[in-house]
């Protein structure tokens, strides 16, 4: 039996048929606001059930419950508010109880908001509770502090799903659940990534696959930092790695069109909940999951799971320590499985790899597969990295 979605029901706010036609006609006569790409991805996440049980943007009571208790309501863990911001001037034009057309960053009307509430929050306090910092060098804090002064809450009727690059891999939770069922997979482990998969990540996923029927490689493809490796380059790396180094019957590649918030521990919980909605039963949580810079401790994203009842989370986290190549055993390993000292262990940082790529040097096989390294070298040289 498939895993139950978060909150018990897989949400679908996408209109179809006569309801869609009527909404499109009505939207042209409604007051409207334009949202950025970040908010447009959140609308899409609500529409397709990635954020189940949310049916729209959160109100003040739910938001404060999330910030103070890490729950939407009793028994429903949630750690990051999903909010719609506007300026005071925009908010003054909108009446509670009215409907509002939402235009995305491309100018398309993508949703109608049933405006139930307008409220304000202290943005610095919001940052402190979500990101555990108010330092604006943190990308999540920087974005949050730029938000408008008023937040709008209410259910959404969504007129259009957001299409992204490599749309054929952008499966909805309904579609991934159907794919798992067709493959006969009962235990499915998800792997979150926003980078090319290197040897340590490959090791973690294959360890997890030993106790599961299938592996969902599920890269995040919403908004990310400007210095993250572009999505098209990452997709080339994922596909060549899967083709060459994974068993076809036990691995599947799909995209997760969700913003990267870089919220560390709080985001690890959200990433687990979202994968539960996609139908996964297990979720890999590695070193500094969803972290950035030095804002979070190495294993804070694993420890936060201890603060929840496992029955509430409803998906099994798999915790892994920092993996490395062991010269002594000539294999990938972790401190749990490998004897020896740090002198025997090969760790390569992203900075060192970028320096190698810039010089046109092939990262060693202890770090990445040669097929992946060639893709990264070509990208780095083309872009002057």
How far apart are the C-alpha atoms of 31 and 110, rounded to whole Å? 14
Which residue in the list 195, 287, 354, 374 is annotated as catalytic? 195
The reply to whether 195 belongs to the active site is yes
- Tokens 């909940």 belong to which residue? 273
328 is catalytic: no
Question: Structure tokens of 53?
Answer: 């049980």
Is there a contact between 104 and 152 (Cβ–Cβ < 8 Å)? no
Which candidate in 13, 162, 177, 194 is catalytic? 194
Residues paired with 188 in a beta bridge = 214
**Helix, strand, coil percentages in the chain from 3-state DSSP, rounded to 5:** 40, 20, 40
Is residue 34 helix, strand or coil?
Answer: strand
- Comparing CA positions, the residue from 318, 170, 162 lying closest to residue 254 is 170
Which residue from 86, 117, 99, 114 is spatially nearest to 28, judged by alpha carbons? 99
266: closest CA among 85, 126, 75?
126
Do 115 and 93 meet the contact criterion of CB atoms below 8 Å apart?
no
C-alpha 129/C-alpha 167 separation (Å) is 34
- What are the start-end ranges of the E strands in 208-358? 214-219, 251-253, 282-285, 316-319, 324-326, 331-333, 345-346
Helix, strand, or coil (residue 109): strand
Report the catalytic residues.
194-195
């Amino acid at each position: 039996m498939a895993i139950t979605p978060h909150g018990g029901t897989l949400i679908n706010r996408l209109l179809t048929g006569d309801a869609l036609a009527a909404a499109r006609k009505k939207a042209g006569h409604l007051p409207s606001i334009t949202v950025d790409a970040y908010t447009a991805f959140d609308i899409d996440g609500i529409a397709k059930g990635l954020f189940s049980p949310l049916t729209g943007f959160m109100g003040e009571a739910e938001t404060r419950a999330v910030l103070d208790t890490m729950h939407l309501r009793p028994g429903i863990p949630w750690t990051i508010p999903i909010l719609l911001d506007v300026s005071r001037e925009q908010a003054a034009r909108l009446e509670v109880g009215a409907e509002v057309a939402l235009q995305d960053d491309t100018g398309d009307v993508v949703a109608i908001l049933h405006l139930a509430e307008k409220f304000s929050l202290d943005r610095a306090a919001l940052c402190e509770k979500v990101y555990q910092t108010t330092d604006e060098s943190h990308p999540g804090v920087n974005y949050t502090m730029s938000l408008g002064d008023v937040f709008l809450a209410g259910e959404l009727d969504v007129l259009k799903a957001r299409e992204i690059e490599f749309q054929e891999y952008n499966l909805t939770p309904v579609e991934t659940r159907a794919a798992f069922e067709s493959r006969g997979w009962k235990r499915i482990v998800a792997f979150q990534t926003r980078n090319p998969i290197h040897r340590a990540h490959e090791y973690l996923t294959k360890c997890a696959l030993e106790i599961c029927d299938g592996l969902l490689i599920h890269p995040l493809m919403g908004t990310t930092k400007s210095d993250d490796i572009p999505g098209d380059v990452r997709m080339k790396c994922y596909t060549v790695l899967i083709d060459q180094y994974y068993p076809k019957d036990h691995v599947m590649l799909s995209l997760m069109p969700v913003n990267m918030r870089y919220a560390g521990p709080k985001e690890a919980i959200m990433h687990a909940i979202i994968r539960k909605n996609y139908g996964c039963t297990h979720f890999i949580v590695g070193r500094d999951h969803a972290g950035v810079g030095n804002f979070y401790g190495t294993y804070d994203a694993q420890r936060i799971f201890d603060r929840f009842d496992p029955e509430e989370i409803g998906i099994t986290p798999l915790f892994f320590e920092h993996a490395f190549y062991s010269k002594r055993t000539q294999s990938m390993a972790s401190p749990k499985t490998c004897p020896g000292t740090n002198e025997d262990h090969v760790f390569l940082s992203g900075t060192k790899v970028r320096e190698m790529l810039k010089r046109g040097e092939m990262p060693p096989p202890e770090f990445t597969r040669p097929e992946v390294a060639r893709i990264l070298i070509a990208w780095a040289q083309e872009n002057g990295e």
